[in-house]
Chain A
Amino acid sequence: MNIPIVDQILELVQQLPHEQRRQLIARLEQELADERLSEQPPMRPDEARAAWQRLRESMREIPTPRLSAGEQLEADRRSRERTLLGPWTESGDVDA
């Protein structure tokens, strides 16, 4: 059986509708993230603290204006609450 080369795969991919190409990219991105993490040994506590600090520093690189992480969490929680409560969100006991 012949193993398809990258160009052949790309040619096939280009025949896909836009949405399916987007799904394919998302899936490949996820698989790469899984592989990369599965290669990592467990962190020691000092490594974990350093990783947390690096994360914090890297957050400075995200373009602004944007929501802060706290605002994003709050927006996500409120959005879910609105989805669950629907028209009852603005009434009753919810927003005491």
Chain B
Amino acid sequence: MWTLDASVYVRAADPNDPDQAICQELIDALDDQAAPIIVPRLLLAELAGVLRRLTRDPIRARLAVDALRSLPQVQLVPLDDALIDAATELAADYALRGADATYVAVARRYNCTLVSLDREQRERATSIVATRTPAEALAELLPPQAHPSRC
């Protein structure tokens, strides 16, 4: 099971982003394998905020969120008291940023591998959960010859 940080989804959404291909390839591979992706609901707000600020289009931002939450393998974890408490402890103990700690708390609760392009988040979370870049995650999911984008 996998937890994808917002850094993966927002990059996958933008063809102008240098990491778009690898992020989209990872999402497609997880989709093909029907691999569960477990993420905090916070992801929706982060995605909506970035798209709204980039496009100045609230409808486009909302449609993106609707699409994401309708993908069959994506499971959204509500920000309930228990999750916030867990994220709070992780933020305090590992100097994680608040949003980052929320993703790490979800990954720990559901024993997921955390995939992120945020180096600081990966480094601080590495003693708590398994962490991967999108390229590393793809390497685990696909045989080498099936993955042309990977260096």
Inter-chain contacts of B10 with A (CB < 8 A): 69-70, 72-73
CA gap between A81 and B60 in the complex, in Å: 27
Contact between A44 and B95 (Cβ–Cβ < 8 Å)? no
User: In the complex the two chains form, what is the Cα distance from A96 to B122 in whole Å?
Assistant: 12
Please give, as numbers and ranges, the residues of chain B lying within 8 Å of A49 by CB-CB distance: 31, 67, 71
Count of chain A residues with Cβ under 8 Å from any Cβ of B? 39
**Which residues 58-96 of A sit at the B interface, judged by CB distance below 8 A?**
58-60, 62, 64, 66-74, 76-77, 81, 93-96
Residue contact B50 to A72, C-beta cutoff 8 Å: yes
Q: Which residues of B contact A96 (CB under 8 A)?
A: 95, 120, 123-124
The count of chain B contact residues (Cβ–Cβ below 8 Å) is 42
B70 and A45 form a contact (CB under 8 A): yes
Residue of B nearest to A52 (CB): B67
Please tell me if A3 contacts chain B, counting CB pairs below 8 Å: no
Q: Which residues of B contact A62 (CB under 8 A)?
A: 16, 54-55
- Is B51's CB under 8 angstroms from A69's CB? yes
B interface SS class: helix
Contacts of A93 in B (CB 8 A): 95
Q: Is A33 an interface residue (CB 8 A)?
A: yes
Describe A's contact surface by its main secondary structure: helix
CB pair B95 A64 closer than 8 Å: no
* Docked complex Cα distance between A73 and B10 (Å): 8
Residues of B near A43 (CB, < 8 A) are 66-67, 70
C-alpha gap A43/B70 in the complex (Å):
6
**Does B66 contact A69, Cβ atoms closer than 8 Å?**
no
Minimum CB–CB distance from B115 to chain A (whole Å) comes to 14
Instruction: Report if B77 contacts A (CB, 8 A).
Output: no
The smallest beta-carbon distance between B122 and chain A, in angstroms, is 12
| Contacts A29-B58, A73-B6, A96-B95 given; does A45 touch B18 at CB 8 Å | no
Question: Top 3 closest A-B pairs, CB basis?
Answer: A69-B14, A48-B70, A51-B67
Pick 25 A–B contacts, CB within 8 A, sort by A: A37-B66, A42-B70, A43-B66, A45-B70, A51-B64, A52-B67, A56-B13, A56-B24, A59-B13, A59-B55, A62-B54, A62-B55, A68-B14, A69-B10, A69-B13, A69-B14, A70-B18, A70-B117, A71-B17, A72-B50, A73-B10, A74-B7, A76-B49, A77-B118, A96-B95
